[in-house]
């Protein structure tokens, strides 16, 4: 029932579910190139975008544009030409996909063709390695996405994308099915063409989870930035968390891309200062504490390593403790820098 992407016809619409920094930033870049998008957002960010438009700032450009905004799934009329892109935080993923999976999908004649979960592809563009399993409970066609897209959302209605001219790198591949069906090539080819116009490199990858597990290792330091604010002098803690994680993944027989592959894939891609902003802006975990959301994704990053370790009868004390400290910081709505390096060392033993 899915219709392949056709750039000439321009029928495909990307529906960003949980449009925060990544969803709004990517959605805004696509919309600027004329691609049809819909942003499903919430709270002050949704209200600001609906009232004043979406502001996107990059190292080399800045623009404001009107984009379609919804605040609830029930406000959306999905069609067979839609592609869902899940860009929530991982801790919010299950609630989101459950809400969207059973929405009706309409065909070109205006008749209900079926449910979103059985007709539409969903791309899981979020950190960690759990979102794909969550989505597969509800959707037949799940595409894992490894996201390299340094976007920051602090002020409602404005997203800072910190790379130019290449804005982001996305490894994308079918999850849960091997070999991938032939029609997946149509979807991935269309995504690649359209996202490339927005300055984003899409790399089709049959081994996409190897990339996501490697990204997981990179994300283990997010909690240090969130707790400490300034991570100067904390390299040993980062190395301890990563070395522990690499050992656990190896013991569990979970493959991930090696350092050489990673460096080659990201050649020429690095965050660049944005005019008017500090050289250093934090990642997604840091942003959660800055905004005081009350939740944090660390349980699906450092906590994922602890989970894998427990499943094989081992422990990951460094990562487990860091996940616990992040949960406490989120509950107590602490800001980045609320913990000193000395205090953190003491708490990690």
Over the stretch 18-52, which tens digit does the pLDDT of each residue have?
999 999 999 999 999 999 999 999 999 999 999 99
The predicted structure's pLDDT at residue 314: 97
Structure tokens at 35: 């691609």
- Sequence-distant (6+) residues with CB within 8 A of 7 are 190, 193, 194
Q: Does domain 213-348 have CATH number 3.40.50.300?
A: no
Alpha carbons within 13 angstroms on the beta-carbon side of residue 70 total 15
The predicted structure's pLDDT at residue 10: 54
The predicted structure's pLDDT at residue 294: 87
List pLDDT tens digits, range 269-282: 888 889 988 766 67
List pLDDT tens digits, range 194-216: 999 999 999 999 999 999 999 99
Q: What are phi and psi of 51, to 5 degrees?
A: -85, -45
Q: What are phi and psi of 210, to 5 degrees?
A: -60, -40
What average pLDDT does range 46-67 have in this prediction?
Answer: 96
In the block, tokens 């919430």 appear at: 42
pLDDT at 179 over 90: no
CATH 3.40.50.720 in the chain, residues? Answer: 13-206
CATH 1.10.1040.10 in the chain, residues? Answer: 213-348
- Sequence-distant (6+) residues with CB within 8 A of 163 are 58, 59, 149, 150, 269, 270, 271, 272
Which residue did the predictor score with more confidence, 147 or 293? 147
pLDDT at 160 over 80: yes
Average pLDDT, the chain: 93
pLDDT at 151 over 80: yes
Dist. CA 343–CA 191, nearest whole Å: 46
For domain 13-206, the CATH superfamily is NAD(P)-binding Rossmann-like Domain (3.40.50.720)
pTM: 0.93
The predicted structure's pLDDT at residue 8: 40
């Amino acid at each position: 029932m899915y219709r392949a992407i056709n750039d000439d016809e321009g029928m495909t619409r990307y529906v960003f579910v949980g449009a925060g920094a990544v969803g709004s930033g990517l959605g805004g870049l696509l919309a600027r190139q004329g691609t049809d998008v819909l942003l499903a957002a919430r709270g002050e960010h949704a209200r600001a975008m609906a009232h004043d438009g979406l502001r996107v700032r990059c190292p080399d450009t800045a623009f404001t544009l009107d984009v379609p905004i919804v605040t609830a799934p029930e406000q959306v009329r999905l069609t067979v030409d839609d592609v869902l892109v899940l860009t929530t935080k991982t801790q919010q993923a299950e609630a989101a996909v459950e809400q969207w999976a059973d929405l009706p999908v309409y065909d070109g004649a205006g008749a209900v063709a079926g449910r979103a979960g059985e007709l539409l592809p969903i791309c899981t563009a979020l950190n960690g390695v759990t979102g794909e399993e969550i989505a597969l409970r509800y959707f037949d066609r799940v595409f894992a996405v490894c996201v390299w897209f340094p976007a920051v959302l602090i002020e409602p209605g404005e997203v800072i994308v910190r790379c130019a001219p290449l804005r982001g790198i996305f490894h994308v591949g079918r999850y849960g099915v091997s070999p991938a069906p032939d029609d997946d090539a149509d979807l991935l080819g269309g995504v690649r063409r359209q996202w490339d116009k927005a300055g984003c490199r899409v790399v089709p990858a049959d081994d996409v989870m190897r990339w996501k597990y490697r990204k997981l290792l990179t994300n283990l330091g997010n909690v240090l930035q969130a707790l400490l604010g300034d991570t100067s002098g904390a390299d040993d803690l980062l190395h301890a968390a990563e070395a522990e994680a690499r050992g656990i993944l190896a013991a569990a027989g979970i493959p991930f891309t090696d350092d050489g592959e990673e460096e080659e894939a990201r050649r020429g891609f690095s965050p660049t200062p944005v005019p008017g902003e500090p050289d250093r802006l934090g990642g997604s975990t840091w942003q959660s504490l800055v905004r005081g959301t009350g939740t944090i994704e660390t349980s699906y990053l450092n906590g994922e390593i602890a989970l894998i370790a427990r499943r094989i009868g081992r422990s990951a004390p460094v990562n487990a403790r860091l996940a616990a400290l992040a949960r406490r910081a989120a509950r107590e709505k602490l800001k980045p820098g609320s913990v000193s390096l000395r205090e953190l060392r003491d708490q990690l033993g």
